[in-house]
Amino acid sequence: MSPIQLVSVKPDVSRSPLETFVACAHQMLDPATPEPVRRAMEPRLLAQLPALRALGVFDLFDVRDPALRAWLEDELAELVAMGRQ
């Protein structure tokens, strides 16, 4: 497991959107993470995107993993498109 471990797949209300996003991303990228856990992290990670986008996190920081970056760019583009409708 990565140094940032997300012990439970249940939402933790005391975590900030950035903490939740980073923990989920680390767990999703860890090759030791079982596929069911990785799939459980996806909606939690995606749920943080509106708050992180509003905070300008993606204007300040780049996601270095190419696959994760491409997935997030697609999801963020969809968020923007939905906001314009």
- Cα dihedral 19→42→33→15 (10° resolution): 20
Model confidence, pTM: 0.75
Domain assignment present for residue 1? The answer is: no
| pLDDT tens sequence across 10-44 | 555 568 999 999 999 999 999 999 999 999 999 99
Domain assignment present for residue 24? The answer is: yes
The answer for residues whose C-beta is within 8 angstroms of residue 85's C-beta and 6 or more apart is none
Give the pLDDT score at 78. 92
The parent domain of residue 72 ranges over 17-84
Domain assignment present for residue 57? The answer is: yes
Residue 74 or residue 5, greater confidence:
74
Domain assignment present for residue 5? The answer is: no
Query: What's phi and psi for 28, nearest 5 deg?
Result: -65, -35
Domain assignment present for residue 2? The answer is: no
Write the Ramachandran bin of 34: left for phi over 0, alpha for psi from -120 to 50, otherwise beta.
beta
Domain assignment present for residue 69? The answer is: yes
Domain assignment present for residue 70? The answer is: yes
How many domains does the chain fold into? 1
Q: What's the N-to-C CA distance of the chain in angstroms?
A: 40
Domain assignment present for residue 26? The answer is: yes
The pLDDT-based confidence of 6 (bands split at 50, 70, 90) is low
Q: What is the mean pLDDT of residues 32-61?
A: 95
